[in-house]
Structure 1
Amino acid sequence: MFYDSNDLTDLALDLTNIISDQDRFERLLATIRKLFKCDASALLAFKGGQFSPLAINGLSQDVLGRRFALDQHPRLEAIARAGDIVRFPADSSLPDPYDGLISSHTEELKVHACIGLPLLADQQLIGAVTIDGFDQFQFDQFSDDLLRKVAALAAVSLNNAMLMEQLEKRDGGISRVEPVLSHTNSNPEIIGRSLQIKRLQSQIEAVANTELTVLVTGETGVGKELVASAVHKLSLRSQAPLIYLNCAALPESVAESELFGHVKGAFTGAVSNRSGKFELADKGTLFLDEIGELSLPLQAKLLRVLQSGDLQRVGDDRRLQVDVRIIAATNRDLNREVAANNFRADLYHRLSVFPLPVPALRERDNDILLLAGFFIERCRIKLGLMHLSLAEQCQSSLLDYAWPGNVRELEHSIYRAAILARAETRNADVIIQAHHFDIGGVSKSSVNQLGSVLTCEQSPPLIEQSLKDATEQFQRSYIKQALKQNESNWTAAARTLSVDVGNLHRLAKRLGMK
């Protein structure tokens, strides 16, 4: 056994210093890597039947976004069930979850030396530390006794972080531990570690256990529904239902009935009494998605319910009292809509008691890679692949792209790229390369202050088009991008471009787009 005992002393001192949990976790792994001369290590939290990375060292950045379910990763399952140090033989038939993900050896798939340290508190599994290397004899010199000491120190550090989180929640404080610590399979999880997401997480935790109405704002595809779900799950109403209603999909003829219900015979086709979304959400939360799409008459009726808490079913004179918390969401600028007389000012002020702006993906730094890892792991399971990873050379492309469709576009791009990569690969170890993505041309630098996306193409050295042709080419490109941003909805695209929808259709026809 050859190691410097000062490393263990430094580790123990690091874990007692007054630093953030994240810094403490990262120092833990840095010391482990120095102590064992390993190629990679990771600290994982265990909850809800899965391991979630809290910190990594030597692994690809997208690993932080992956979630490792035990039933999908037999090696991690063996660590979870062992109760003691697990040394995997170099020829183990159990696939290593980090194959192809060690940043300095991304093209070398197989990890040959692996040790798992289960972390226990009160005899309960709370996490694990994994230590990996490419030399199969890399860890033979280290005794189980040393490994158990490291595991004990790591377990104390993780358990203290979890206890502090519980204490802060009990006292009504805002948790400072990474959100993953309080995540379970049944709860929504907002993937990300950027300052913007940490700020959003703090705001969610601050407002969740109040009764304030929340207005979630942001571009299409940023995850407004996930934010609403997180607010509900952390609220005092979490055991009651969260009822969802997409206001943009409500035909005017049935909108009032959908919201407030109707009685038998109220209109043609009303063959029985029917509860509306407000009744269904009684004692719980009603999430009104795309609230900006409601008509002005319906806005007035909605305002009445929000003010008084009572409603009338269509065709019924009786009043019903409901206790509902409202969370609304929109991708429109309701301030501008109010100024344009498209949205009631009194309803807007009633809804925006606590605004929650969700940042666009292009504003979230390296969260793009974490989200890519999260979707890659999901995709790997759906496609039945042994391993699915992201080539290092294409990560910069993902970071530079503006993602006008935000998280939804990233998810769909990952799935398409994975399918294309699988088609080019004859085995179960698939690597997604840059050419599998179709995301060229729209960089972050091409996004203007309003969030509209311009297609940036390199200017030719000589002018080879007439001004008319160049203008029409730009118009076609700009309209296509507006349609993509608004999921091919011409009405929404017209609003983004600040033009009449009829004029937009006529222009598109003249440009040969229809």
Structure 2
Amino acid sequence: MTTSHILNAVIPLVADLAQEMPERERMRRLLAALRTLLPADAVALLKLEGEWLRPMAIDGLVPDALGRRFRLAEHPRFAQLLAAGQAMRFAPDSPLPDPYDGLVAHQGQPIAELHVHDCMGCVLQLGGLPWGLLTLDAMQPGRFADAASLELLQAFSNLAAATVATAERVQQMAQLAHSACSIGTIKAPSDRVLLGHSPAMRRLQKDIALIAGSDLSVLITGETGTGKELVARAVHAQSSRAAHPMVSINCAALPDNLVESELFGHVRGAFTGAQTERSGKFEQAHQGTLFLDEVGELSLPVQAKLLRVLQSGQLQRLGSDREHHVDVRVIAATNRDLAAEVSAGRMRSDFYHRLNVYPLQLPSLRERDSDVLLLAGYFLEENRSRLQLGGLRLDGAAQAALLKHTWPGNVRELEHLISRAVLKALSRQDASASRGRPRMLTLRTDDLEIGPGPHMQQPPQPEPTSMPATTTSLRDAVAAHERALINASLKRHHGSWAAAARELQMDRANLQRMAKRLNIEKS
């Protein structure tokens, strides 16, 4: 390779360091330059996050690779690269499994059943500490055999580190601008993270960064399965309250007779069974965040009792006259149209406006373009790790099917579909193999079962009921019809009163009172 060739690839990257540009574009240019210098079929930039490596940018790999996270303990090649501290190459006959087997793309499609035969990589150092890895893979053995390839990669790693440092400084400055009032340490809320590069997700992430720096109440709305709790945790994690607890409560699971006790606490003897004094969820979330999931399920009397604490932070434990003051940021979530609930009289307007100070509308998976494959990659890697498989991939037809599907159940449907498909493919493979699990498991469209089926059906309609032949009055006929509808709905939803109430478009407490009047026993 000539000096001019090297300069032509490197000089634009040096110029980019002084330019403002999106992080993804900066990383894309970095990898594109690397592929012009070294004859790789695929390159990737991975960031070290504790015991995981997360792809930040890829070139030459299938799209779902960007959604995967690689645990170091399960990928010895990555662990060796980090331990080496410098550029190193693995021999084509290395017995160590390659994390990218089956993930290298050819014209946008994965190369079926071919494995990486030559790979090398190096550590990126920032401030004397390992930031992550640059990896290069080739399908042809011996592609990186010459010593010059290692030397060039090691030299390029310094420029790559400068590019990464610039991107991180830009990101940090943006975060400071959004949350100048934030203090404390931001903790990772859970293993699950918000993934997505679609315009809809970028808008959502900007809104989260904007609202996180304030103490305004947030109302998260969106279809079932869109990840409302993940958004709530992201808001909390980026706020000044991140060092304090985030307490979650599922409003649909609150028994009517224990709502006040759960939310506000109680004193000893407040009711039968109250043997000790107990704080409620609001006090447990003091100086932190209280997440009210399925807030649309709260009855009107409970909404009225919540208004005071939302307005002033004052509450009384059940059975006590003593006031307690709490400093709590409230985040609520629902898949209902709460404005319509107010119009229908099932929600107090003052309670609704207390919650809806800053609304966050979550996009459905149908609105998120190629995020489907990124999320699929995340769930594929989860299943690969859980089932201890060598490799897990989607064939081209399966990728196309995922992109074409309308996803009525959103991200949760995708997660469950991938998990089922992996088990089906594993069962199919085990039935055809004489021994051991396969090195590479490929999911096909028949494993996904996407198409007309139970998950595509319309929501069940109330079952038709016939009028009792012995009815002697209109009141008896109406009661019989109501009883049949409620029983049928409860049967469909396996005894869930909250789900039945949603289907019948009633408040749950009102439904249970009606059931009591109609002599329908609770299961």
**TM-score, structure 1 normalization:** 0.84
For residue 379 of structure 1, report the CA deviation from its aligned partner.
0.7
Q: CA deviation at 1:27?
A: 1.5
Match of 1:33 in 2: 35
Question: What amino acid is aligned across from residue 7 of structure 1 in structure 2?
Answer: A
| Aligned equivalent of 2:446 | 435
> Does 2:127 align with 1:122?
yes
CA distance in 2, matches of 1:264, 1:371: 48
**C-alpha contact (below 8 Å) 1:40/1:58 kept by paired residues:** yes
Of the three residues 144, 147, 151, the one matched with 1:139 is 144
**1:218 offset after TM fit, Å?**
0.6
State the one-letter code of the partner of 1:165.
Answer: Q
Match of 2:80 among 60, 68, 78: 78
Question: More displaced, 342-351 or 272-281?
Answer: 272-281
- Alpha-carbon shift at residue 24 of structure 1 (Å): 1.6
1:292 to 278, 296, 309: 296
Alignment counterpart, residue 381 of structure 1, candidates 379, 385, 403: 385
Cα distance between partner residues in 2 of 1:2 and 1:134: 24
Partner of 1:62: 64
Distance 1:442 1:406, change over 3 A: farther
* Separation (CA, whole Å) in 2 of partners of 1:69 and 1:487: 41
Residues in 1 aligned to 2:353 and 2:12: alpha-carbon distance in whole angstroms? 55
SS in 2 for 1:355: strand
The match for 2:326 among 319, 322, 326 is 322
Instruction: Tell me how far apart the structure 2 counterparts of residues 430 and 73 of structure 1 sit (CA, whole Å).
Output: 17
Distance 2:263 2:242 in 1: 21
One-letter amino acid of the structure 2 residue matched with residue 262 of structure 1: H
Structure 2 letter corresponding to 1:251: P
CA distance in 2, matches of 1:222, 1:405: 8
Secondary structure of the residue that 1:489 maps to in structure 2? Answer: helix
Amino acid at match of 1:436: D
The CA deviation at 1:164 is 2.1
Distance 2:311 2:153 in 1: 62
Aligned partners of 1:296 and 1:382: how far apart in 2?
44
Give, in angstroms, the shift of residue 166 of structure 1: 2.2
What is the correspondence of 1:443-454 to structure 2 with a 5 Å cutoff?
none
Give the drift of 1:8. 2.9
Mapped contact 1:191–1:370 kept (Cα < 8 A): yes
Distance in 2 separating the partners of 1:483 and 1:23: 47
State which drifts further: 42-51 or 204-213.
42-51
Q: Measure how far apart 1:109 and its partner are.
A: 3.2
Deviations 1:191-237 (CA, angstroms, capped at 9, x unpaired): 11111111111111111121111111111110000000111111111
- The answer to whether the 8 A contact 1:400-1:443 is kept is no
Compared CA separation, residues 296 and 488, structure 1 to 2 (3 A): closer
Q: Could you tell me which amino acid in structure 2 is paired with residue 69 of structure 1?
A: R
Aligned pair in 2 of structure 1 residues 483, 202: CA closer, same or farther (>3 Å)? Answer: farther
User: What aligned pairs does 1:204-283 form with structure 2 within 5 A after superposition?
Assistant: 204-283=208-287
Q: CA deviation at 1:501?
A: 8.8
What residue is the counterpart of 1:345 in the other structure?
349
- Aligned partners of 1:209 and 1:250: how far apart in 2? 30
Shift of residue 132 of structure 1?
0.5
Counterpart in the other structure of 1:111: 116
Gap change, CA 1:245 and 1:488, over 3 Å in 2: closer
CA distances 1:225-269 after superposition (whole Å, capped 9, x unpaired): 000011111111111111110000111111111111111111111
Q: Give the stretch that moved more between structures: 26-35 or 131-140.
A: 26-35
- For the Cα contact (< 8 Å) 1:126–1:159, is it kept in 2? no
Once structures 1 and 2 are overlaid, which stretch shifts more, 324-333 or 31-40? 31-40
* 1:48 alignment partner AA: G
The yes-or-no answer on 1:47 pairing with 2:52 is no
Structure 2 CA distance, aligned partners of 1:95 and 1:301? Answer: 59
Q: CA deviation at 1:171?
A: 4.2
* 1:334 is the counterpart of 2:338: yes
What amino acid sits opposite 2:208 in the alignment? I
Alpha-carbon offset, residue 16 of structure 1: 4.5
Give the Å deviation of 1:320: 1.0
Residue identity in the other structure for 1:344: R
Superposed CA deviations along residues 247-301 of structure 1, whole A, max 9, x for unmatched, are 0011111111111111111111112211111111111111000000000000000
Find the residue that maps to 1:115 and give its secondary structure.
strand
Residue 43 of structure 1 aligns to a residue whose secondary structure is: strand
Please state how far the C-alpha of 1:311 moved relative to its aligned partner: 0.6
Residues 428, 144 of structure 1: alpha-carbon distance in 2 compared, 3 angstrom cutoff: closer
Pair 17,313 (structure 1): closer, same or farther in 2 beyond 3 Å = closer
What is the Cα deviation at residue 14 of structure 1?
A: 4.4
Deviates more, 1:136-145 or 1:327-336: 136-145
- Measure how far apart 1:417 and its partner are: 0.3
Unaligned 5+ segments in structure 2 are: 181-185, 461-488, 513-523
Does the residue aligned with 1:51 lie in a helix, a strand or coil?
A: strand
Q: What residue is the counterpart of 1:192 in the other structure? A: 196
CA distance in 2, matches of 1:173, 1:314: 37
How big is the shift at 1:140? 2.3
2:398 partner amino acid? C
The CA deviation at 1:188 is 5.2
Q: Of 151, 156, 160, which residue of structure 1 is paired with 2:162?
A: 156
Q: Distance in 2 between matches of 1:443 and 1:366?
A: 25
Deviation sequence 1:345-368 (CA, Å, 0-9, x none): 001101010111111111110111
Change (3 A) 1:99 1:173: same
How far off is 1:490 after superposition?
3.4
What letter matches 1:120 in structure 2?
A: Q
In the TM superposition, what is the alpha-carbon distance from 1:17 to its structure 2 partner?
A: 4.2
Cα deviation digits, residues 489-510 of structure 1 (max 9, x gap): 33323449xxx999xxxxxxxx
CA distance in 2, matches of 1:150, 1:439: 44
The structure 1 residue matched to 2:176, chosen from 170, 176, 189, is 170
- In structure 2, how many angstroms separate the alpha carbons of the residues matched to 1:313 and 1:25? 54
Task: Give the Å deviation of 1:428.
Answer: 3.4
Aligned to 1:469: none
RMSD: 2.8
Secondary structure (helix, strand or coil) at the match of 2:98 reads coil
Cα deviation for residue 418 of structure 1 reads: 0.4
Whether contact under 8 Å (1:286, 1:326) holds in the other structure is yes
2: distance between equivalents of 1:268 and 1:424?
56
1:37-68 CA distance string (max 9 Å, x none): 21111111222222111111110000110011
Aligned to 1:9: 11
Higher Rg: 2
CA distance in 2, matches of 1:107, 1:187: 31
Instruction: Indicate conservation of the 8 Å contact 2:332/2:355, yes or no.
Output: yes
Superposed CA offset, 1:406-456 (max 9, x none): 111111111000011111224232111110112213899x99xxxx889xx
User: CA–CA distance in 1 between the matches of 2:136 and 2:69?
Assistant: 18
Flag the 1:208–1:18 CA change in 2: closer, same or farther, 3 A.
closer
Tell me, in whole angstroms, the C-alpha distance in 1 between the residues paired with 2:176 and 2:225. 34
8 Å Cα contact 2:16-2:26 kept in structure 1:
yes
Q: How many Å separate the matches in 2 of 1:393 and 1:443?
A: 21
State the AA in 2 paired with 1:191.
L
